[in-house]
Chains A and B, each alone.
Chain A
Amino acid sequence: QSVLTQPPSASGTPGQRVTISCSGSSSNIRKNTVNWYQQLPGTAPKLLIYSDNQRPSGVPDRFSGSKSGTSASLAISGLQSEDEADYYCAAWDDSLNGVVFGGGTKLTVL
């Protein structure tokens, strides 16, 4: 049972816009910034979004993040086949005094 809640799966067709939600609480998402990771099959996770909505250099602007209250979202526009991966949200949790992750969302490009 993950502290942050994500849907286990999401899907879309090429060119579509897809959003992935991440639900937390006042001890994590409300108080602290949210980060998103992309994990392609058989590889290490890659930082996709940091500080709620910032993209590291090299990450396409098709990827965007937002946060409101105790929830955050990752949006992917202009969906491409190479976006098929697992996506994880993460944040610091003040009550647990540690990092918490979402359970991950498997994105399928139909």
Chain B
Amino acid sequence: QAQLVESGGGLVKPGGSLRLSCAASGFTFSDYYMSWIRQAPGKGLEWVAYISSRSSYINYADSVKGRFTISRDNAKNSLYLQMNSLRADDTAVYYCARAANHYDTSGCDYWGQGTLVTVSS
């Protein structure tokens, strides 16, 4: 059974940095596109970024472009999100999710439990 476990969330001051990790198990991680998706408290889902199976294709939401960097280490079955220049509106639960098919990254069949990032002074 596929499993995704996020870590690295916490409280950070505006302008600060944080690195999220997502440990994958139960499937061949290197075969799948992966995404980060976030959800602000009491709000809806917002896609953040995706990365292809071999890191050849990467894209970001406009709201995080230039500040966040998605990466992966297939040897370690891990996905990362480096978040810099954090702002209050980045406060959210961050989920890593597996795209069921490489041709449709909007269809994520496995999600982690999420990690909370709070940006506040």
A contact set with B: CB distance below 8 Å: 2, 32-33, 35, 37, 39, 44-47, 50-51, 56, 86, 88, 90-92, 96-104
B: contact size bracket:
20 to 34
Chain B residues lying within 8 Å of A102, measured Cβ to Cβ, are 44
Contact across chains for B44 and A92 when beta carbons are under 8 A apart: no
Cβ 8 A contact of B104, one of A33, A44, A86, A96: A33
Is B73's beta carbon under 8 Å from chain A?
A: no
Q: Which residues 93-110 in B have Cβ within 8 Å of A in the complex?
A: 95, 100, 104-109
Docked pose: A17 CA to B110 CA in angstroms: 28
Q: List 15 A-B contacts (CB under 8 A).
A: A32-B104, A33-B107, A44-B111, A44-B112, A44-B113, A44-B114, A45-B108, A47-B109, A50-B100, A56-B100, A90-B45, A90-B107, A98-B47, A99-B37, A104-B45
Contact across chains for B47 and A100 when beta carbons are under 8 A apart: yes
